[in-house]
Amino acid sequence: MPETTLAKTRAAQPEPHCSIARSLEVLGEKWTLLIVRDAGRGRNRFSEFKDNLHVSSDILADRLSTLVDAGIMERRSYRDDGARERFSYHLTESGQDLHVVLGAINAWGDKHRPSDFGPASIYRRVGSRTPVTVAFVDASGRSVAPEEVEIVRGPGSEPTAP
Amino acid sequence: MPETTLAKTRAAQPEPHCSIARSLEVLGEKWTLLIVRDAGRGRNRFSEFKDNLHVSSDILADRLSTLVDAGIMERRSYRDDGARERFSYHLTESGQDLHVVLGAINAWGDKHRPSDFGPASIYRRVGSRTPVTVAFVDASGRSVAPEEVEIVRGPGSEPTAP
């Protein structure tokens, strides 16, 4: 592999062992997660994302490509009457699984970055309409306090990792 | 407020109502969350973050300032024998509460961006050493399937929001 390519690969993935680092290669940027949020709320067309996020077309196109390449969204073509072919963007299973990540960020933001307006979004159970939040849970599905959760090295940890 | 200041404020906070958008103003960037991850695993000195993350001093200093300004980390001074005063960085309560957000990202990455090495980090319960994951939970602390969770407008939602 030419040295420049190797350098680029390293720069793009500085910690191949860590699941958090690998995830942030695609997620660690504001627009990416806001696009996923919007798609989870029924927005699917380029113009819908653009109008809601007030992001430039170049950045939006770039982030949508990143999401498609990462398998988080899929592109589908559609054609309105008399118009040229366009594309819409839909969450894959991988993208739908970010629901919990966004729920965790939302709960943290409501607590630590509250606005004067109150919560904009309420997460609740369909049917009973009772509030839900995000927490650590054990194998039986009972919540576990964060201070009771420790992180230990798994089989894929680097020799020098904590 | 001068027009330029207002424009800057708007650009920095495009969606003041949404808790996810507000959170991503500080979190939506790879290095920020990796610094929080490292601090949660006992790294606190500038040199420790720099050596582990392979990030430039300029970017690291910038991201640490962002984290301190946002109340996620606090700066403390220390002085090694014979050395000049230096600073270490520690998670505040707000930063510690990101444990769940990082746990959710870790679980998503283990499932959807697995490495050939296997999981690098195992989240488990202190004492019993049984695995934990992150999920939606109801008020009684029982997990709720993601497809049973809906998002509805709260009091702080914008009139035009979904």
pLDDT in tens, B8-27: 343 445 688 899 999 998 99
Residue A131: Cβ within 10 Å count = 12
Q: Tens of pLDDT along B55-112? A: 999 999 999 999 999 999 999 999 999 999 999 999 999 999 999 999 999 999 999 9
For the question of whether the overall pTM of this predicted structure is more than 0.95, the answer is no
Cβ separation A131–B146 shorter than 8 A = no
Inform me whether the pLDDT recorded for A95 exceeds 50.
yes
Backbone torsions φ then ψ of A3, nearest 5 degrees: -60, -40
| Residue B63 pLDDT | 96
User: Between the CA of residue B104 and those of A123, B95, B99, B109, B155, what are the distances in Å?
Assistant: 16, 15, 9, 9, 27
Name the fold adopted by A8-148: Arc Repressor Mutant, subunit A (1.10.10)
Cβ separation A134–B110 shorter than 8 A = no
Which whole number is the average pLDDT over B115-126?
A: 92
Which whole number is the average pLDDT over A46-59?
A: 95
| Residue A160 pLDDT | 56
Tell me the one-letter amino acid at A110: D
User: Which chain A residues are closer than 8 Å to B157 by Cβ?
Assistant: 117, 120-121
| Residue A5 pLDDT | 40
Cβ separation B148–A127 shorter than 8 A = yes
Inform me whether the pLDDT recorded for A17 exceeds 90.
no
| Of A161, A135, A131, A162, nearest in space to A148 by CA | A135
At A16, the pLDDT band (50, 70, 90 cuts) reads confident
* Residue A36 at interface with chain B, using a CB cutoff of 8 Å: no
* Residue A77 at interface with chain B, using a CB cutoff of 8 Å: no
| Residue B14 pLDDT | 61
Cβ separation A101–B103 shorter than 8 A = no
At A159, the pLDDT band (50, 70, 90 cuts) reads low
Question: Which single residue is written with the structure tokens 């990796």?
Answer: B34
At A156, the pLDDT band (50, 70, 90 cuts) reads confident
Residue B89 to chain A, least CA–CA distance (Å): 17
* A41: nearest CA partner in chain B: B162
* B10: nearest CA partner in chain A: A54
Q: What CATH number does domain B3-148 carry, 1.10.10.10, 1.20.58.220, 2.40.30.10, 1.10.287.130?
A: 1.10.10.10
List the single residue in B26, B100, B121 with the smallest CB-CB distance to A154.
Answer: B121
Angle at A82 between CA A77 and CA A83, to 5 degrees: 45
Backbone torsions φ then ψ of B112, nearest 5 degrees: -105, -15
Inform me whether the pLDDT recorded for A14 exceeds 70.
no
The CA distance from A133 to B139, in Å, is 8
DSSP state letter for A149: E
Which whole number is the average pLDDT over A24-35?
A: 92
Cβ separation A121–B157 shorter than 8 A = yes
Q: Tens of pLDDT along B137-162? A: 999 999 999 999 999 999 888 765 44
Would you kindly state where each structural domain of chain A is located, as residue ranges?
Answer: 8-148
* Residue B30 at interface with chain A, using a CB cutoff of 8 Å: yes
| Of A132, A128, A100, nearest in space to A119 by CA | A132
Cβ separation A156–B120 shorter than 8 A = yes
Mean residue pLDDT of chain A comes to 89
